[in-house]
């Protein structure tokens, strides 16, 4: 190392060469800098930091897929919460009864392999939805059909056993949405005389000013019939029936007796909500000629799917168990699965905000939490919709029915023996036992609680 000056060159020995100043050149040696001079120390320090960091992470249960002390940044594998469950479920009589009910609910009679059946049904539903889209778009009508939506959560209307709801949304131009009470809208069409023909002539209501859900069913049935004839598909597999002044359209699948319920819907721009033509379970104007219902089934399915991925599906099992318990108790049988699903979403919203380890709850804790949340809304006499603000899911019920819910839920949440008894009687093998909770006369129709096994809530 040398330092050049006007007087000469100061060598490493400290002697000065007098004469013409010439820098001392050392070949193949890079110019030293601050960064280069401390590099070895920095390297050792970084290695020491990595080693301490690795020891700390290993002490809290984090493992590495590569060497944590190597020069390259290691890939750190942080175990997701839904893959861990450090707390064991307490073995109680109620917990064991609920677990047996959850296991028994997955049994399907007269089917050798339930998983094989559902895989076949899912594949056929996908083939149907893939096939139907191009044929709908080539129908010749002024309807912009979107991708069909197979509902993977509990819909706001009752579905029969082995029935899969499928929404066929389409968009319309020159149509205005006019909101009514929460959850309902009407579609205003351009004014036309009764003799004047336009693209909405097949869809106008009796007053010629609104889009008719019933006529939408007829038009969609006509389009599908034309497509079936073109592809030589047996038309008998497509059926449209009238149930309680409401149309229902079905497509029979080839396997295991399943069928798809086809529901016309209006696509809402930049939203995963749709306006369906099918009335809800509790609907004051179910036979309306121009009312459309707001349906958030796609968003609800996303939320429930996220919950199931985080808690390993424990709350969806609790949802199914509570639905079956309510079906068994005559005082709670008029509670619809959609109402219970909304209560589950509110219960989850509370636990996410206030319970750091909500994903580690046991099945017993989830069932009790859901029943207590139901009791909370029964006491309030008001069950809000999780997404639609201002919509009361208890609003059209008789106040006496809500009081009956309250008394039944108070007994189940405060008397463990009563809940165990109801759980044991709900199991298929216990159906022959005396039904001391049910009245002798049963004039109330039970809601169908069969949840298709292909969905995310089973």
Q: How confident is the model at residue 88 (pLDDT cuts 50, 70, 90)?
A: low
Per-residue pLDDT at 247: 85
Neighbours of 274 (CB within 10 A): 24
Pairwise pLDDT comparison (372 vs 458), residue with the higher score: 372
Helix (H, G, I), strand (E, B) or coil at 165: strand
pTM for the structure as a whole: 0.73
268, HSE (Cβ side, Cα atoms, 13 Å)? 16
Residue found by looking up tokens 């759980």 in the block: 423
Neighbours of 406 (CB within 10 A): 19
Question: Is residue 417 pLDDT above 80, yes or no?
Answer: yes
Per-residue pLDDT at 87: 53
Per-residue pLDDT at 61: 52
Contact in structure between 231 and 243 (CB atoms under 8 Å): no
Nearest to 280 by CA among 396, 433, 152: 396
Per-residue pLDDT at 456: 37
Per-residue pLDDT at 70: 43
Lowest mean pLDDT among 38-47, 49-58, 140-149, 176-185: 38-47
Q: Enumerate the β-bridge partners of residue 150.
A: 166
When pLDDT is averaged across residues 128-135 and rounded to a whole number, the result is 85
Contact in structure between 145 and 133 (CB atoms under 8 Å): yes
Per-residue pLDDT at 423: 93
Quote the tokens at residue 124: 């056929």
Q: Do you know the residue count of the chain?
A: 458
**What percent of the chain has pLDDT above 70?**
72
Contact in structure between 353 and 361 (CB atoms under 8 Å): no
Q: How far apart are CA 156 and CA 92, in angstroms?
A: 35
Pairwise pLDDT comparison (451 vs 273), residue with the higher score: 273
Residues 6+ apart with CB under 8 A from 335: 326, 374, 405, 447
Q: How confident is the model at residue 429 (pLDDT cuts 50, 70, 90)?
A: low
The per-residue pLDDT for range 8-28, each reduced to its tens digit, is: 444 444 444 444 444 444 444
148 to 102, 167, 301: CA distances (angstroms)? 31, 6, 15
Q: Any alpha helices (H) in 31-142, and if so which ranges?
A: 34-37, 39-59, 93-104, 114-137
Nearest to 343 by CA among 317, 311, 378, 308: 378
Pairwise pLDDT comparison (185 vs 140), residue with the higher score: 185
The per-residue pLDDT for range 55-78, each reduced to its tens digit, is: 765 665 555 444 444 444 344 444
Dihedral angle of Cα 180, 182, 184, 189, to the nearest 10 degrees: 40
Q: How far apart are CA 234 and CA 250, in angstroms?
A: 13
The per-residue pLDDT for range 25-65, each reduced to its tens digit, is: 444 444 444 334 444 444 555 667 777 766 765 665 555 44
Q: How far apart are CA 126 and CA 108, in angstroms?
A: 23
Nearest to 106 by CA among 118, 93, 94: 118
Question: Is residue 436 pLDDT above 80, yes or no?
Answer: no
CA angle 212, 391, 145 (to 5 degrees): 35
Q: Kindly tell me the burial class for residue 404, based on how many C-beta atoms sit within 10 Å of its own C-beta (0-12, 13-18, 19 or more).
A: middle
Contact in structure between 265 and 277 (CB atoms under 8 Å): yes
Residue-averaged pLDDT of the chain: 76
Q: How far apart are CA 22 and CA 8, in angstroms?
A: 8
Question: Is residue 405 pLDDT above 90, yes or no?
Answer: yes
Per-residue pLDDT at 359: 81
Neighbours of 62 (CB within 10 A): 15
In b/e form, how buried is each residue of 183-218, taking b as 16+ CB within 10 angstroms?
A: bbbbbebeeeeeeeeeebeebbbeeeebbbbbbbbb
């Amino acid at each position: 190392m040398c330092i050049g000056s006007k007087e000469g060159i100061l060598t490493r020995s400290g002697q000065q060469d007098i004469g013409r100043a010439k820098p001392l050149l050392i070949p193949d040696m890079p110019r030293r800098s601050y960064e280069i001079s401390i590099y070895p120390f920095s390297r050792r320090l970084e290695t020491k930091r990595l080693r301490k960091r690795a020891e700390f992470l290993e002490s809290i249960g984090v493992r590495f897929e590569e060497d944590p002390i190597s020069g390259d940044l290691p890939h750190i594998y942080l175990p997701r919460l839904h893959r861990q469950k450090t707390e064991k479920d307490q073995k109680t009589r109620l917990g064991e009864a609920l677990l047996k009910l959850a296991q028994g609910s997955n049994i399907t009679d007269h089917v050798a392999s339930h998983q094989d059946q559902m895989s076949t049904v899912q594949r056929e539903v996908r083939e149907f939805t893939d096939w139907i889209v191009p044929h709908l778009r080539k129908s010749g009508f002024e309807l912009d059909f979107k991708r069909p939506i197979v509902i993977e959560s509990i819909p706001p209307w009752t579905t029969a056993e082995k029935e899969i709801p499928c929404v066929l949304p389409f968009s319309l131009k020159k149509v205005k949405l006019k909101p009514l009470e929460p959850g309902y809208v009407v579609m205003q069409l351009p004014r036309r005389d009764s003799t004047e023909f336009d693209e909405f002539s097949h869809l106008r209501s009796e007053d010629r000013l609104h889009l008719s859900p019933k006529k939408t069913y007829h038009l969609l049935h006509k389009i599908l019939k034309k497509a079936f004839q073109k592809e030589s598909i047996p038309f008998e597999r497509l059926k449209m029936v009238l149930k309680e002044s409401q149309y229902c359209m079905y497509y029979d699948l080839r396997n295991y007796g399943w069928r798809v319920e086809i529901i016309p819907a209006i696509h809402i721009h930049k939203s995963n909500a749709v306006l369906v033509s099918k009335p809800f379970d509790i609907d004051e104007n179910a036979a309306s000629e121009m009312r459309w219902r707001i349906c958030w089934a796609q968003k609800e399915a996303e939320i429930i799917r996220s919950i199931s991925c985080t808690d390993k599906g424990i709350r969806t099992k609790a949802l199914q168990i509570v639905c079956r318990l309510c079906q068994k108790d005559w005082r709670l049988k008029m509670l619809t699965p959609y109402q219970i699903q909304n209560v589950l979403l509110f219960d989850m919203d509370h636990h996410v905000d206030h319970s750091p380890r909500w994903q580690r709850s046991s099945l017993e804790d989830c069932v009790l939490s859901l029943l207590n949340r139901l009791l909370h809304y029964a006491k309030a006499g008001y069950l809000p919709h999780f997404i639609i603000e201002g919509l009361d899911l208890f609003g059209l019920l008789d106040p006496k029915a809500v009081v009956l819910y309250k008394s039944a839920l108070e007994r189940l949440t405060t008397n463990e023996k009563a809940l165990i008894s109801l759980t044991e009687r709900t199991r298929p093998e216990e159906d022959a036992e005396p039904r001391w909770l049910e009245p002798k006369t049963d004039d109330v129709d039970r809601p169908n609680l069969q949840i298709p096994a292909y969905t995310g809530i089973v």
